[in-house]
Chains A and B, each alone.
Chain A
C-alpha cells in the first residue's frame, strides 16, 4: 500500500510475440512518472494492463493497492485516464462533457454542478461552457480533458501522450496542471514522445522491445549515459536495443 503503482514481473504475450517482458517497478504516491519507449516497444500494452483493459499473461500489478488481475473493475474506479487521441466528445458542449464524465464515474448531481463551476473558473472557460467542444482550440480541449479526468478525484491518473500536437506554450501550461495535481498527491503516469517533457518527470523509464532498459531520474540517466539531454539518452538506448 506504500506504492501508488507496484509491478512485479508483469508480462503480456500475444501468441509467440512477447509485447511486455517481465517488467518490474514501483511508483510512489504524488510522483510524476515518465513512461517512454519507441512505438511498438510495449508501453501502450503495459498501460492497458495497468488500466484494466488487458489481462496480464503473467506477473502481478497493483494499482492503488488493488490487484489489477483480480479486481480490474475496482481499479477503474480509482484511476483517471486521458488518451492520446481524444477524451472529449466534440458534439457535446463543455458542460455536457463534464456532466457525462461525472455521471459515468458515479458522482452525485449536486457534486457535479459544484465541480463544474470550479473547473470552468479555473480554466477560464465560463464564457464557453455551453459551446460545443468542437469549437475550442486543441490546447484548451487537452486541458479540459485532463481536468475532466481528475473530476472524480482519482489517486492515479494515466496520461497517454496527452500533449501530442499541441504548441509549446500550451504544453508548458499543461505541465503546470500536471505539477499542480502531483502537488495535491495525485500520482501521474505519463507517456510522451517529446523528450523535453521527459525532463519534467520525477523519474523516467525507457522501454525497448518489451523490457525496461533504464529507470532513473532524468538527471541520473543523463549522467549514466553521458548524454547532453534526454533525447540523446533515448537515441542511445533505442539504437542498442534494435
Chain B
C-alpha cells in the first residue's frame, strides 16, 4: 500500500503543478454552471413587442393590457401602419408583433368572433415559438373572461372547455432545473474521461509509462493510482455543482443525497473506464484530447437531452444517444433532485450504467493485456 500511496502522491503533484489542469478542474465547472444558469435559458421575460391597433376600442386595449401585465411582454412600440412592421423586425427592436383589425371590438361583440395576428421573429425559432405560445395562452384566457363578462349575458353561453394546466416539479418552469443536471453530467464526463485519458497518454508520450510497467507496480495499481485522484476531484466537483445549483439557482434537493452520491460515483466510474479505454488506443495527449472531445463531449451535449429534448430527435439519433452514459445519468439526477424519487424508479438507468462500466472496463483490460502478450 506504501507503493500505491507514493504513486498517488505523485499524481496529485502533477495535478496541482499544472495550472491548466487546475483551471479545467475547478474553474470550468463554476463558470459553466453560472454561464448556463444565467445565460442559456428558455424563459422569456419582458420581451419587446409592437402593437398595431387601428381599432383602439375597449376590447383591444383590455387584451393588450392583459398581455403586458403577464410580465412576459413589454410594449416597445405602438405602430400606426403595417408598413412600420418590417423595419421594427429588421432592426431587432421587437420579437413579436400583435396586429388588431380596424374594428376588433365591434366584430367580437356582434359576430362573436374576431381575428388578430401574431407575428413572431423566427430568426430565433425557439424564442419565437415560446412567445407565440405564451401569447396564445393569454389570448385564450382573455377570450374566456370576455365571454363571461359583458356580452355573456346577452348571448347564449357557448360550450367551453377550460383547460387548467399545472407544471409539476418545476411550477415556475425554471430552465436551471434542466441545466444544473446537464452541466453536472458534462463536467463529470469531462473531468473523469478526458483527464484520465490525457494523463495516461502523457505517461506514454513521455516514456515514463514503460518505467512504471517495468516497476513492481501492477498494471491495475498503475491505472487505479492514476485515476483515484481524478475520481476524488470529480466528486468534489459534483458537490460544488450541486451546491451552486441549490444556493445560487434555488435548485431543489427532494431526494436522498446518499443516492445521488452513489449515482455520481457510478457515472464517474463509467466515465473513467471510458477514459482508460481511450488511452489504451491513443498514443499522444493530443490524440487522447481529440478522441475524448469528439466522441464524448459532443454527444454528451447534443444527444443526451442536456440541451435539445430527446423526444424531438429523429429515432435514429435517439438510438445513438442511448449509447452514451450521459443520456442515462441526466434522468437520474433530475429524478433524485427534482422529483425526489428513489432507486425503485431509477433502477433501469442505474443498471444500464453498471452494464456500461463492466463492458468498458472489460475491453480496456483486454486492450491493456494484449499489449503485454
Contacts and interface: CB of A to CB of B under 8 A. Distances in A.
A76 B216 contact: yes
Interface stretch (A46-54, A180-188, A208-216): A46-54
Contact of A81 (B3, B9, B211, B218): B211
Contacts of A232: none
B372 A53 contact: yes
Given A73-B218, A96-B13, A87 B208 contact: yes
Interface string A69-81: 0000100110101
B228 to A, nearest CB: 15
Interface in A101-133: 101-106
Interface string B1-37: 0110111011001100110000000000000000000
A87 B216 contact: no
Nearest to B210: A83
A105 B215 contact: yes
Contacts of B2: 103, 106
Per DSSP, are chain A's interface residues mostly helix, strand or loop, or mixed?
loop
Given A100-B6, A106-B3, A84 B216 contact: no
Contacts of B206: 85-86, 89-90
Nearest to B212: A104
Nearest to A149: B211
A99 interface: yes
Interface in B204-253: 206-208, 210-218
Contacts of B218: 73
B86 interface: no
Interface in A25-54: 51-54
A91 interface: yes
A87 B10 contact: no
Contacts of A101: 215
A79 B215 CA distance: 8
Contact of A76 (B18, B210, B215): B215
A92 interface: yes
B111 interface: no
A3 B157 CA distance: 109
Interface in A143-171: 158
Contacts of B7: 100, 103-104
A55 B207 contact: no
B13 A92 contact: yes
A87 B207 contact: yes
Contacts, number: 78
Contact of B211 (A55, A83, A90, A106): A83
B198 to A, nearest CB: 14
Contact of B216 (A55, A105, A158): A105
Contacts of A76: 214-216
A53 B13 contact: no
A99 B6 contact: yes
Contacts of B207: 83-87
A20 B203 CA distance: 27
Contacts of B124: none
B373 interface: yes
Contacts of A79: 214
B16 to A, nearest CB: 10
A52 B214 contact: yes
Contacts of B3: 103-106
Interface string B329-353: 0000000000000000000000000
B13 A91 contact: yes
Nearest to B206: A86
A103 B216 contact: no
A100 B214 CA distance: 14
Contact of A51 (B10, B208, B214): B214
B314 to A, nearest CB: 42
A202 to B, nearest CB: 23
Contacts of A104: 3, 6-7, 212, 215-217
A58 to B, nearest CB: 13
A86 B14 contact: no
A91 B17 contact: yes
B52 to A, nearest CB: 67
Contacts of B212: 104
Interface of B: 2-3, 5-7, 9-10, 13-14, 17-18, 206-208, 210-218, 372-373
Interface of A: 51-55, 73, 76-77, 79, 81-92, 96, 99-106, 158
The 7 lowest CB-CB distance pairs between A and B, nearest first, are A103-B6, A85-B207, A81-B214, A91-B17, A76-B216, A77-B216, A87-B211
Given A83-B207, A101-B215, 12 more contacts: A53-B372, A55-B372, A73-B218, A81-B214, A84-B207, A87-B208, A87-B211, A91-B17, A91-B18, A92-B17, A102-B6, A103-B5
